[in-house]
């Protein structure tokens, strides 16, 4: 659908937040869904760009995005009143688990994909990771939503110095009323490390993988990821992350030997 921009603001550095009037998308959006955005009609932007739905309320869809290339840079230049074509909500969303406590583990703009879970799973914990303070997002927002926020940065400029997964052992030491259910999103190396750790520690959860996408609707196989398949001689098969994902049960993600 054609969606008008209500606001498109720079949050900090390369990070922007855009709000679209998109009632049909907002009504159907669940945590972890994404929209496939056609930024404008020019040939350069024939391929849509996938972006997670950060929030969807009162007919408004909010996206938080980082400028990394041509498409995201063009989006950042659009002003109130301009229109983009939004296809979505797309993909398989996260599954809220009311019998568990949410443990959100995210890197960089991955913090946007899990944001809506703060409503369906209040009172959780979020481990926010980033290269440095400049890439840390939504710290105050998660706190305001009542989440226990813990931070790790690679350069130690905020929180623990190191990878976000290094915050997990400390958390596991404190007793919890309910078991944790992990929701993860972030760069692929972080998610592969998280999937391996979850397997070792027998932690349940779902991870959202950001694969580069073309069609976004399951027809081109440009976005495949390896998932476990015991019936295959290689023990894996390829799954289309735009259709079968981007959210996968952590136990399904193939991490090799």
Ligand X SMILES: Cc1cc2nc3c(=O)[nH]c(=O)nc-3n(C[C@H](O)[C@H](O)[C@H](O)COP(=O)(O)OP(=O)(O)OC[C@H]3O[C@@H](n4cnc5c(N)ncnc54)[C@H](O)[C@@H]3O)c2cc1C
- Residue choice 75, 225, 242, 247 for contact with ligand FES (CB under 6 A): 242
- Rounded-to-integer distance, Cα 94 and Cα 102, Å: 11
**Residue 219 binds ligand FES, judged by CB under 6 A:** yes
> At closest approach, how far in Å is the CB of 210 from ligand FES?
12
| Calpha distance 144→2 (Å, rounded) | 32
Q: What angle do CA 157, 158, 162 make, to 5 degrees?
A: 80
DSSP string, 197-256: HHHHHT--EEEEE----SSSSSSS-TTEEEEE-TTSTTSEEEEETTTT-BEEEGGGB---
Q: Which residue among 222, 226, 238, 249 contacts ligand FES (CB under 6 A)? A: 222
Residue nearest to ligand X (CB): 69
Give which of ligand FES, ligand X, none residue 49 binds (C-beta under 5 to 8 Å, depending on kind). Answer: ligand X
- Per-residue x/- marks for ligand FES, 177-216, CB under 6 A? ------------------------------------xxxx
Sequence-separated (6 or more) residues with CB below 8 Å from residue 229: 235, 236, 237
Instruction: Please tell me whether residue 84 binds ligand FES under the rule CB under 6 A.
Output: no
Sites of contact with ligand X (CB under 6 A): 34, 49-52, 64-66, 68-72, 109, 112-113, 210-213, 246
């Amino acid at each position: 659908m054609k969606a008008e921009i209500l606001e498109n603001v720079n949050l900090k550095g390369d990070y922007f937040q855009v709000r679209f009037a998109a009632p049909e998308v907002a009504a159907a959006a669940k945590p972890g869904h994404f929209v496939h955005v056609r930024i404008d009609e020019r040939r350069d932007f024939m391929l849509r760009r996938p972006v997670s739905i950060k929030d969807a309320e009162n007919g408004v869809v909010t996206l938080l995005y980082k400028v990394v290339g041509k498409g995201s840079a063009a989006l950042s230049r659009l002003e109130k009143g301009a229109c983009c074509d939004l296809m979505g909500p797309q993909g398989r969303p996260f599954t809220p688990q009311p019998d568990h406590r949410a443990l959100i583990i995210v890197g960089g703009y991955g913090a946007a994909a899990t944001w809506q879970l703060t409503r369906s799973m209040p009172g959780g914990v979020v481990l926010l990771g980033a290269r440095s303070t400049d890439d840390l997002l939504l710290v105050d927002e998660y706190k305001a939503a009542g989440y226990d926020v813990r931070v790790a940065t690679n350069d130690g400029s905020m929180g623990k110095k190191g990878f976000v997964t290094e915050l997990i052992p400390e958390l596991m030491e404190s007793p919890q009323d309910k078991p944790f259910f992990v929701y993860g999103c972030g760069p692929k190396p972080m998610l592969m490390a998280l999937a391996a750790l979850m397997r070792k520690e027998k932690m349940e959860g779902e991870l959202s993988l950001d694969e580069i996408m073309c069609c976004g609707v399951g027809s081109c196989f440009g976005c495949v990821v390896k998932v476990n398949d015991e019936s295959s001689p290689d023990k894996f098969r390829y799954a289309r992350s735009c259709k079968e994902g981007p959210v996968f049960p952590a136990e399904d993600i193939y991490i090799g030997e």
